[in-house]
Amino acid sequence: MTTDFGRTTLPYCSFVGVGEKRPRVGVGVGTDVLDLTAAAARFVPDRAGLFADGTLDRFLAAGADAWHEVRDALTAWVDDPSARAFLVPAAEVDLVLPFTVADYVDFYASEQHATNVGRLFRPDGEALPSAWKHLPMGYHGRAGTVVVSGTPVTRPSGQSRAASGHIDVGPSARLDLEAEIGFVVGVPSTLGRPVDVDRFEQHVFGICVVNDWSARDLQAFEYVPLGPFLAKSFATSVSPWIVPLAALSGARVEPPARDPHPPTYLQDEDPWGLDLELVVRINDTIVSRPPFASMYWTPAQMLAHLTANGASVRTGDLYASGTVSGPADDQVGSLLELSRNGAEPVKLDDGSCRTFLLDGDEVTISATAAAPGGGHIALGEVTGNVIARQP
């Protein structure tokens, strides 16, 4: 589906034109892509070199002054008649992975999701892990298997324990989706120096929509005590559009109250979350509408925590929020929660039911944000088809 971005969001992508081989950097204008690699010389000549290689890598690294200068110049020029020559319908081009993914981290920042998963995975324990309200929990994922929207996802295979206690090796029978928002780091930090919670906007360029595919049967068997490993490393899908933070000023909201108060390094002078609505579709049936505004930990707290031990971030680092789940039954961001670990199948519009994903299923997660002047802006979508494991 082609997203209509209007003329103010101006998200970035990387695309390959009809009959071309090399990617170009693009900007979403309405339902078109503006060829920034070609057009930059026209309206922002001093920065044109940042887009020459067809990826966002150099632009991400260039920092906040460059990000604002390009966006301001683009905003002033995009309605000029001379811009029309650089537009191509988005439906006619191939959208590719827009930046080189350096490291990938996945958080666990939704209180509702963490509570739901705790109850399902550890019915005899406390729902929330004891450290959960003291720090944004997360794990290091696999950057090399981050794929762009539209890439087919092969059903993973691995070990799991059957109800009988027998250990099976084979294709996952509990393949799940996870609806998340991803944050793209532009400016690196220095090894040994944490990024202050107030310096988020000096490092993070923008956001994308993420599906962190998860094999629940593999996960349940392997995760104690080191956490997710092969259950989540086979594929993570991202939307092709990176929406700059500058387009999201109208979506800032106060985060939920913190109890207990987190330590100083997680205390922001002016904390903000984002009012985004995600929509999860399986084969065109809307199964959930997770609200991002309900996330307990903010994007700035996640970055501060990720670097609190002195670990540095690099250009192209991607960190995802963790599954977004709201309080209502139809606001949860995974099938694990929607089907209550397989006990309550979810009905699709074609009459079929799902507990977990079947081969051939198409999962699409889209998102919108509250807009600066009221209304909503589109953030694009991430889609992927499940394909059977090849023998």
Ligand X SMILES: O=C(O)/C=C/C(=O)CC(=O)CC(=O)O
Active-site residue set: 113
Site string for ligand X, 232-271 (x = CB under 6 A): x---------------------------------------
CA–CA distance, 97 with 86 (Å, rounded to integer): 21
From residue 199 to residue 228, the character string flagging contacts with Mg ion as x (rule: CB under 5 A) and all else as - is: -------------x----------------
Of 32, 106, 222, 277, which one interacts with Ca ion (CB under 5 A)? 106
Rounded-to-integer distance, Cα 1 and Cα 7, Å: 18
Cβ atoms of residues 362 and 383 within 8 Å: yes
Q: Rule CB under 6 A: is residue 291 a binding residue for ligand X? A: no
- How far, in Å, CA of 381 to CA of 302, rounded? 23
Q: Which of Mg ion, ligand X, Ca ion, none interacts with 108 (beta carbon under 5 to 8 A by kind)?
A: ligand X
Among positions 48, 69, 77, 121, the unique one binding ligand X when judged by CB under 6 A: 121
- Measured in whole angstroms, the distance separating CA 139 from the mean position of its chain's CA atoms is 15
- Choice from 32, 111, 176, 178 touching Ca ion (CB under 5 A): 178
Cα dist from 131 to 176, 229, 306, whole Å: 26, 21, 15
Q: Which is nearer to Mg ion, 143 or 286 (CB)?
A: 143
We find the least distance from the C-beta atom of residue 112 to ligand X, in angstroms, to be 10
Q: What is the DSSP letter of 196?
A: P
Stretch that binds ligand X, among 65-73, 105-113, 190-198, 341-349 (CB under 6 A): 105-113
Q: Which is nearer to ligand X, 74 or 295 (CB)?
A: 295
Applying CB under 6 A, which part among 113-121, 293-301, 303-311, 368-376 lies near ligand X?
A: 113-121
**Contact in structure between 13 and 2 (CB atoms under 8 Å):** no
Q: Which residues from 167-196 bind ligand X, rule CB under 6 A?
A: 178
| Between 141 and 322, CB nearer to Mg ion | 141
In angstroms, give the least distance from the CB of 220 to Mg ion: 16
Q: Give the Cα separation of 281 and 197 in Å (integer).
A: 34
Indicate which of Mg ion, Ca ion, ligand X, none lies near residue 121 (CB less than 5 to 8 Å, by partner kind): ligand X
Say if strands 362-370 and 138-140 run parallel, antiparallel, or are unpaired.
Answer: unpaired
Binding of residue 321 to Mg ion (CB under 5 A): no
- Among residues 106, 111, 317, 381, the one that binds ligand X under rule CB under 6 A: 106
Stretch that binds Ca ion, among 62-70, 101-109, 235-243, 252-260 (CB under 5 A): 101-109
Annotate 201-227 with b (16+ C-beta within 10 A) or e (fewer): eebbbbbbbbbbbbbbbbbbbbeeeeb
Does position 176 interact with Ca ion (CB under 5 A)? The reply is: no
- Burial of residue 37, with CB atoms counted within 10 A of its CB: 0-12 exposed, 13-18 middle, 19 or more buried: buried
Q: Among 94-102, 111-119, 236-244, 377-385, which window interacts with ligand X (CB under 6 A)?
A: 111-119
Determine whether 118 is exposed, middle or buried from the number of CB atoms within 10 Å of its CB (0-12, 13-18, 19+). middle
Radius of gyration in angstroms for the set of CA atoms belonging to the chain, rounded to a whole number: 21
Other C-beta atoms lying within 10 Å of the C-beta of residue 1: 11
Q: Which residues bind ligand X (CB under 6 A)?
A: 106, 108, 113, 117-118, 121, 178, 212, 223, 228, 232, 322-323
The binding site for Mg ion (CB under 5 A) comprises 141, 212, 232, 236
